[in-house]
Amino acid sequence: MSVGPEAAFSMRGNLLRKNLLTALLLAPATLWLVVFLVLPFVAIAIFSVGERAPEGGYQAAFTLAQYANLPARATAFWNTMVLAPVGALACLLVAYPVAYYLALKAPERWRLILLALVVIPFWTSLLMRTYAWMYVLGGRGIPALLALVGIEDVRLINTPGAVLLGIVYGYLPLMILPIYVSLERLDRRLLEASADLGATPLSTFLGVTLRLSLPGVMTGFSLVMILLLGEYLIPTLLGGGKVFFIGNALVDLFLQSRNWPFGSAIAITLVLVSVVVLIAANRISTRLSGARRVDLI
Amino acid sequence: MRAFVVAVFAFLYLPIALVVLFSFNAGHHASELTGFSVQWYGKALSNPFLVEALKNSLFIATTSALLAALCGTAAALGLQRVGARTRAVFDALLGAAIVVPGVVIGISTLVALVQLFGVLNPFLAELWPNDKPPRLALGYGSIIAAHGLFSMALVAMIVGTRLGSLDRNLVEASSDLYATPLTTFRSIVLPQIMPAVIAGFLLAFTFSFDDFIVAFFVAGAQTTLPIYVFASIRRGVTPEINAIATIVLVASVLLVVLAQWQLRRRKH
């Protein structure tokens, strides 16, 4: 039986209507992504090869002078490039046992509650949570308590240690969640098999558990690391202007000294470093565990 | 290991508990724990600048979360209907909107909008019939749009995950029983994705209400609650800030618990 011209016409009509609906559904998101993600990124890419106008702002040019000038903010880069990986590593060391306990050891009825207790801080204001540590570490917090027992002149806030503490505090939930997800998916029979074959608990952990949870570890590590590269609040509030991050340099260049081209060059560099971190993390987890990376949400 | 986990949870919650505790302290400082009082809440809520900032934040968070819930859900539905290549492009862009640090989103939006307004404003002035043309400037609109970018991507991801686990048999059964596509959508798909949409809305609201860094760049002359609080913190720690912090923390905790509950409701 052949399809008559009328039926063919209505089929084409249907197809058109289907495509139109798809386009309508995707239009708002596309507009949003283009105007507020792609175009802004193109804008700072263009600014980064421009020059600073005498009164501040931007003057059209094509020069790599802004990139050549990056060493002028070497301290900010140095602090960030040291404290971001160290902070992410510290997060990991604290997060792994917690995720391990939640996924493999916690009693069933406690698991969801404990998991919620991990998620809640992640979604509460980083500003307020960092403020809490300003309060605890500041002059009227722990140092005041120490003074009561005779230990005077302890300085905790506005030190690199305080910034590191704030980093671990702020980003711990983001590290715990992906590790938890990868550990929860772990096939427990593998652990039994490993033990049955005479492996010690330690070698089972290293050879099976740790290895199979590596995608989660790398997801957590790279996410925390990338967000730390752009961190501003923690070094500002707990480092007191003494521990400068790239984020501080960007706020200064865009809102105070108004050197937008140089700031754009720094921002582009930041994005490039983030991309390298993501790719490297993905490579490492694929090579070591043979598995694809896990999604966060 | 249990002891370590307990210690970590204490580490996560003790500082917050201290902030809340001292917001109810009658004395000025932690060293003068002189009794229970809600005076700092009264002081905070009678500060007109703070109330103004709070209203701004509520308006911005509600608007951007609503827009994000609508557009994000539409995008998630649309992405079910396209080929693998288009989908990969969208997934990459949505992922970037979530992962790119707020500082970079903030400055790039600032740069792009200032340039765009620089082009559009003279043009508008030219076209406008009288002497008072509207001037596009940074403010509510730019904060809503910048927050909405992250939120929309978040909603698209959460709803997309839910759509992926949707029972296809129900959809097919519905159309086999001669339901129109619209009826199928209304009675099968929508009820199943609704918890994810609501959870996405709540998380989007929380994100916008709590965000400091993106708004810091694109707020123009406007003030949001986090911007106001940040400025006050830099002037010094006061019990008044503890009171605001407590209100914000309690509000976020309620919203997140509600969102989690919505997400788990139909899963099991």
| pLDDT digits 0-9 by tens, B109-145 | 999 999 999 888 888 888 888 777 788 889 999 999 9
Which residue in B93, B103, B227 has the most chain A C-beta atoms within 10 A of its own C-beta, making it the best mutation to test that interface? B103
pLDDT value of position B32: 65
Predicted confidence (pLDDT) at residue A296 exceeds the cutoff of 70: no
pLDDT value of position A167: 96
- The torsion defined by the Cα of A78, A81, A87 and A93, in degrees rounded to 10, comes to -130
Rounded Cα distance, A182 and A165, in Å: 26
pLDDT value of position B179: 84
Q: What's the number of domains chain B is made of?
A: 2
The reply to whether residue A135 touches residue B19, judged by beta carbons under 8 angstroms, is: yes
Per DSSP, what are the bridge partners of residue A240? none
Query: Which residue type does B83 have?
Result: G
pLDDT value of position A198: 87
Same-domain check for residues B125 and B5 = no
pLDDT tens string B157-200: 999 988 888 877 888 888 888 888 888 888 888 888 998 999 99
Q: Which of residues 159-198 of B touch A (CB under 8 A)?
A: 161
Reported ipTM = 0.89
Q: Is the dihedral of CA A257, A258, A264, A265 positive or negative?
A: negative
Predicted confidence (pLDDT) at residue B95 exceeds the cutoff of 50: yes
B208: confidence class by pLDDT, cuts 50, 70, 90: very high
pTM of the model: 0.89
- The position carrying tokens 């010094």 is B236
Task: For residue A93, give the 3-state DSSP assignment.
Answer: helix
pLDDT value of position A10: 63
Same-domain check for residues B252 and B215 = yes
Percent of chain A with pLDDT over 70: 93
The reply to whether residue B242 touches residue A135, judged by beta carbons under 8 angstroms, is: yes
Same-domain check for residues B179 and B215 = yes
Return the structure tokens found at B200.
């996405």
Same-domain check for residues B13 and B105 = no
Same-domain check for residues B112 and B69 = yes
Give the start-to-end residue ranges of the domains of chain A. Answer: 5-37, 72-289
Predicted confidence (pLDDT) at residue A70 exceeds the cutoff of 60: yes
* Three-state SS sequence of A101-157: HHHHHCCHHHHHHHHHHHHHHHCCCHHHHHHHHHHHHCCCCHHHHHHHCCCCCCCCC
The reply to whether residue B1 touches residue A129, judged by beta carbons under 8 angstroms, is: no
CATH 1.10.3720.10 fits A72-289, yes or no: yes
Predicted confidence (pLDDT) at residue A86 exceeds the cutoff of 50: yes
pLDDT tens string B8-25: 999 999 999 988 988 888
CB-closest option in B8, B97, B213 to A98: B8
Residue A132 near residue B245, CB atoms below 8 Å: yes
A4: confidence class by pLDDT, cuts 50, 70, 90: low
The reply to whether residue A274 touches residue B94, judged by beta carbons under 8 angstroms, is: no
Q: CB-based contact (8 Å) between B75 and chain A?
A: yes
Rounded Cα distance, B59 and B56, in Å: 5
Task: For residue B231, give the 3-state DSSP assignment.
Answer: helix
pLDDT tens string A129-141: 999 999 888 877 7
Predicted confidence (pLDDT) at residue B267 exceeds the cutoff of 70: no
Task: With respect to residue B19, please indicate whether it lies within any of the assigned structural domains.
Answer: yes
Q: Kindly report the nearest CA distance between residue A198 and chain B, in angstroms.
A: 24
The reply to whether residue B152 touches residue A29, judged by beta carbons under 8 angstroms, is: yes
Same-domain check for residues B103 and B186 = yes
B72: confidence class by pLDDT, cuts 50, 70, 90: very high
Predicted confidence (pLDDT) at residue A120 exceeds the cutoff of 70: yes
Same-domain check for residues B169 and B233 = yes
Same-domain check for residues B61 and B169 = yes
Tell which residue, A132, A152, A130, A134, has the closest CA to residue A143: A152
CB-closest option in A26, A125, A134 to B237: A134
pLDDT value of position A294: 41
Predicted confidence (pLDDT) at residue B252 exceeds the cutoff of 60: yes
Q: What are phi and psi of B226, to 5 degrees?
A: -60, -35
Task: With respect to residue B146, please indicate whether it lies within any of the assigned structural domains.
Answer: yes
Residue B70 near residue A32, CB atoms below 8 Å: no
Q: Kindly report the nearest CA distance between residue B133 and chain A, in angstroms.
A: 24
The reply to whether residue B72 touches residue A29, judged by beta carbons under 8 angstroms, is: yes
Rounded Cα distance, A292 and B80, in Å: 22
Q: Please count the other Cβ atoms lying within 10 Å of the Cβ belonging to residue B54.
A: 21
Residues of A in contact with B216 (CB under 8 A): 251, 255
The reply to whether residue A22 touches residue B237, judged by beta carbons under 8 angstroms, is: no
pLDDT tens string A175-233: 999 999 889 888 888 888 888 888 888 888 888 888 888 888 998 999 999 999 999 99
Residue A28 near residue B68, CB atoms below 8 Å: no
Q: What is the mean pLDDT of residues A95-101?
A: 95
Same-domain check for residues B30 and B101 = no
Q: What distances in angstroms separate CA B57 from CA A86, B152, B216, B223, one per listed residue?
A: 34, 18, 13, 8
CATH number for B138:
1.10.3720.10
A30: confidence class by pLDDT, cuts 50, 70, 90: very high
Residues of B in contact with A14 (CB under 8 A): none
Query: Taking all residues of chain B, what is their mean pLDDT, rounded to a whole number?
Result: 89
pLDDT value of position A11: 65
pLDDT value of position A53: 82
CB-based burial label for B240 (10 Å; 0-12, 13-18, 19+): buried
For B32, the domain range is 1-37
Q: Which residues contact A153 (CB under 8 A, 6 or more apart)?
A: A143
Per DSSP, what are the bridge partners of residue A52? A58
Q: Kindly report the nearest CA distance between residue A212 and chain B, in angstroms.
A: 20
| B29 compared with A146, residue with greater pLDDT | A146
B268: confidence class by pLDDT, cuts 50, 70, 90: very low
Q: Please count the other Cβ atoms lying within 10 Å of the Cβ belonging to residue A37.
A: 23
